[in-house]
Amino acid sequence: MKSIKKLACLALLLLAKASMATTSGEPIRHVNTTEKVVALTFDDGPDKPYTEQILGVLDKHNVKATFFVLGGNAKANPDLIKKIMASGHDLGNHTMSHQKMKGRTVEAMRNDIASVDKILRDLGYEKEITFRAPFGITSPNLKEALQQLNKRMVLFTFLPQDWTKISAQQIYDNVMKQMKPGLIITLHDGGNHRENTVKATEMLIENLQKQGYRFLTVSDLLKLQQ
Ligand SMILES: [Zn+2]
CB 172 within 8 A of CB 185: no
Candidate CATH numbers 3.40.50.150, 3.90.1150.10, 3.20.20.370, 3.40.50.300; the one for domain 2-222: 3.20.20.370
> Whole-angstrom Cα distance, residue 69 to residue 130?
11
Residue 93 CB partners (closer than 8 Å, separation 6+) = 68, 69, 71, 113, 116, 117, 120, 129, 130, 131, 132, 151
User: Phi then psi for 65, rounded to 5 degrees?
Assistant: -135, -175
Interval 82-124: pLDDT, tens = 999 999 999 999 999 999 887 899 999 999 999 999 999 999 9
* Cα(98) to centroid(ligand 1), Å: 6
Choice among 43, 47, 90, 162 that is catalytic: 43
The model's confidence at residue 226, banded by pLDDT at 50, 70 and 90, is low
**Predicted model pTM:** 0.89
- Mean residue pLDDT of the chain comes to 91
**DSSP codes joined into one string, 57-111:** HHHHTT---EEEE-HHHHHH-HHHHHHHHHTT-EEEE--SS----TT--HHHHHH
Query: Side chain identity at 79, as an amino acid letter?
Result: D
Computed on alpha carbons and rounded to an integer, the radius of gyration of the chain in Å comes to 18
Task: Please give all residues whose CB falls under 5 A of ion ligand 1, grouped by chain where several chains appear.
Answer: 43-44
Decide if pLDDT at 225 tops 60: yes
Measured torsion, CA atoms of residues 170, 174, 175, 177, in degrees rounded to the nearest 10 = 120
Q: Which of 30, 89, 94, 188 is catalytic?
A: 188
Domain ranges of the chain: 2-222
CB atoms within 10 A of CB 212: 8
pLDDT in tens, 175-194: 999 999 999 999 999 988 99
- Ligand 1 centre to CA of 225 (Å) is 24
- Annotated active-site residue 43? The verdict is yes
User: What is the arithmetic mean of pLDDT over 12-19?
Assistant: 43
- Partners of residue 93 on adjacent β-strands: 69, 131
